[in-house]
Amino acid sequence: MYRITDEIVGAKKIVIVGHVRPDGDCIGSCTALYQYLMNIKDELQIESIDVYMEPFGNNFDLISGVEDIKHSFESDEVYDVFISLDCSSLDRLGHGLKYFNTAKKTINIDHHISNTLFADINHVVADASSTCEVIYELLDEDQITKEIAASIYIGIIHDTGVFKHNNTSRKTLEIAGKLIDKGIAFSRLIDESFYQKTYIQNQLMGRCLMESFLVLGNRVIISSVDRRILEFYKASPTDLDGVIDQLRVTKGVEVAIFIYELATQEYKVSLRSNGDVDVSKIAIYFGGGGHIKAAGCTMRGSLHDVINNLIPHVETQLNTIYGNSLIVDIKGS
């Protein structure tokens, strides 16, 4: 059976690099592989293992191994083996690219269908829920400790939205079951890394929901927050994570729009679709990008301008889907 250890025989110095703006899957897969290799380091006569990643939120502090991750890319160390995790292309490596460029051997482990197969060895499983799911299959199950299992579990729950997104398969759940058998505190891992919010984050969430309003026959929900509010709560835009998803699950809503002020006359717009509206088309029109059901862009002007410019694009798509009459009737009533 193919194992990641087959690829690193004889390597003295190993580096593991995750992608820019690391997410749970990136952090989970890197710490899982790091801990696994650390446990067999002496046996394989490995001298050192470094892990590099940009800084991330403290909701991942409960993962063991995160304390060893290096966030400054100042060292010019040259490695025998470079392992990239959860990166679809070289530009996703950020500052870690220099270690890729100088390494003797490069390995790319990922699950993005768009992966550009940029390394010497590419282990890309496009139908896997997460890189953590891919990593699990490359490790010897007997050597997966409770700590490693927790890292892998966190990656899987983050990329599947706690087993909710359609990338969740029977295999994903079977792996999750095996990880639970390792004795991980799965409820706590889910709560603390995924759902938990600070008091401020909850205050902001409440405020954004209070300020929301429905348009286009109650099929579209919109909310916004300006910089004064963020300053009042001493909050940063990352404290608004999750607002758009809460707006999206409003019953009857097809499209959710969340807008926050980046700078004077400059707004970040997040778009989500529950149905057939392709929000990426709208985001791309305004210079942004994304997927059919989740997209975003940055827009200039007053908040009123931003909303008034967005609405016709949503309306056009809704009209195509439901026919003009429905929307016009509801608006006129």
Q: Where on the chain is the footprint of Mn ion (CB under 5 A)? A: 25, 86, 130-131, 159
Q: Least distance to Mn ion from the beta carbon of 189, Å?
A: 17
Q: Which helix (H) or strand (E) element contains residue 124?
A: strand 121-124
| 112-115, long-range: CB < 8 A, 24+ apart | 112/86, 112/88, 114/88, 114/89, 115/88, 115/89
Closer residue to Mn ion (CB): 168 or 223: 168
Closer residue to Mn ion (CB): 159 or 254: 159
Q: Least distance to Mn ion from the beta carbon of 168, Å?
A: 13
Q: What is d(CA 25, CA 154) in angstroms, rounded to the nearest whole number?
A: 7
Looking at residue 142, what DSSP letter applies? G
Q: Least distance to Mn ion from the beta carbon of 159, Å?
A: 5
Distance between the two ends of the chain, CA-based, in angstroms? 66
What are the tokens at 30? 């890197």
Inter-CA distances, 175 with 82, 194, 290, Å: 26, 19, 29
Closer residue to Mn ion (CB): 29 or 106: 29
Closer residue to Mn ion (CB): 135 or 257: 135
Whether the CB-CB separation of 121 and 107 falls below 8 Å is answered with: yes
Q: Least distance to Mn ion from the beta carbon of 234, Å?
A: 31
Q: Least distance to Mn ion from the beta carbon of 24, Å?
A: 8
Q: Could you give the angle at the alpha carbon of 105 between the alpha carbons of 101 and 107, nearest 5°? A: 95
162 Cβ contact list (under 8 Å, min separation 6): 190, 194
Q: Least distance to Mn ion from the beta carbon of 249, Å?
A: 23
Closer residue to Mn ion (CB): 53 or 222: 53
Closer residue to Mn ion (CB): 27 or 295: 27
> Which residue number has the CB closest to Mn ion?
25
